[in-house]
Amino acid sequence: MAVRKVTIIPAKTRRELYSDQTKSAKERVAAYCRVSTNNEEQETSFEFQKSYFEMQLSRQPMWDNAGIYADEGISGKSVKNRKDFQRMLADCRQGKIDKIVTKSISRFARNGMECKKYVLELKELGIGVYFEKEQLDSLAVGSDLILSILSSVAEQESRDISTNVKWTYEKKYKRGEVVLNTTRFLGYTKDDQKKIIIVPEEAETVRRIYREFVGGKTYKEIGRGLESDNIMPPSYGCGDENKKCDGKNWHASTIRSILINEKYKGDAMLQKSYNVDFLSKRRKNEGQVDSVYVEDCIPAIVSKELADLVELEIKKRSGERGASESGRGRYSSKYPFSGLLFCGNDNAKLRRHCQWSGDKRTPIWICTHKAASKGNDCDLLPIKETVLEQAFVEAIRRLFVDRDEFIDILTNNIESSLKDDSSDKIRKLEALIEVKSKYMLEINDKYRQAAISREEYAGEFERTSLEMDILLKEKKEMLASKLEFAGSNVRLSEMKEFLAKTKNITEFDAELLINLVARIKVMSKHNIVFEFKCGFEYEMSI
pLDDT along the chain (542 residues), means of 10: 78 58 71 71 67 86 89 67 88 90 83 80 89 87 77 69 63 68 83 87 92 83 88 62 55 90 87 60 64 82 85 75 43 74 86 84 85 64 89 84 70 58 76 85 84 87 86 80 66 68 75 81 88 79 82
Residue 336 covered by a domain: no
Residue 416 covered by a domain: yes
Residue 368 covered by a domain: yes
- CATH, residue 302: 3.90.1750
What's the confidence (pLDDT) of residue 25? 67
What's the confidence (pLDDT) of residue 264? 92
Q: Which of 540, 533, 496 is nearest to 516 (CA)?
A: 533
Residues in Cβ contact with 383 at an 8 Å cutoff, skipping those fewer than 6 apart: 350, 364, 365, 522, 525
What's the confidence (pLDDT) of residue 103? 87
CA distance 34 to 71: 5
| Residue 540 CA: distances (Å) to CA of 42, 116, 198, 245, 326 | 71, 79, 47, 54, 33
Residue type, 86: Q
Q: Which of 509, 511, 513, 541 is nearest to 528 (CA)?
A: 541
Domain count for the chain, please give it: 3
Residue 113 covered by a domain: yes
Residue 443 covered by a domain: yes
146 and 99 part of one domain: yes
Residue type, 262: E
Boundaries of domain holding 262: 188-309
193 and 152 part of one domain: no
CA distance 329 to 271: 34
161, 179, 207 - which closes a domain: 161
Q: Which of 176, 166, 393 is nearest to 282 (CA)?
A: 166
- Tell if the pTM clears 0.85, that is, is over it: no
268 and 378 part of one domain: no
293, 309, 325 - which closes a domain: 309
| Residue 261 CA: distances (Å) to CA of 203, 290, 293 | 14, 19, 12
440 and 533 part of one domain: yes
300 and 374 part of one domain: no
| Residue 117 CA: distances (Å) to CA of 84, 94, 176, 329 | 17, 18, 43, 51
Q: Which of 58, 18, 26, 53 is nearest to 130 (CA)?
A: 53
Q: Which of 201, 216, 212, 255 is nearest to 233 (CA)?
A: 255
528 and 460 part of one domain: yes
405 and 512 part of one domain: yes
What's the confidence (pLDDT) of residue 359? 80
Residue 406 covered by a domain: yes
CA distance 376 to 367: 11
512 and 380 part of one domain: yes
Residue 321 covered by a domain: no
CA distance 115 to 105: 8
Q: Which of 48, 99, 100 is nearest to 72 (CA)?
A: 48
387 and 499 part of one domain: yes
3 state SS of 197 = strand
Per the CB < 8 A criterion, the answer to whether 203 and 264 are in contact is: no
- CATH, residue 113: 3.40.50.1390
351 and 496 part of one domain: yes
288, 309, 330 - which closes a domain: 309
Per the CB < 8 A criterion, the answer to whether 190 and 196 are in contact is: yes
CA distance 463 to 472: 14
389 and 300 part of one domain: no
153 and 262 part of one domain: no
CA distance 90 to 228: 43
CA distance 120 to 383: 77
Residue 156 covered by a domain: yes
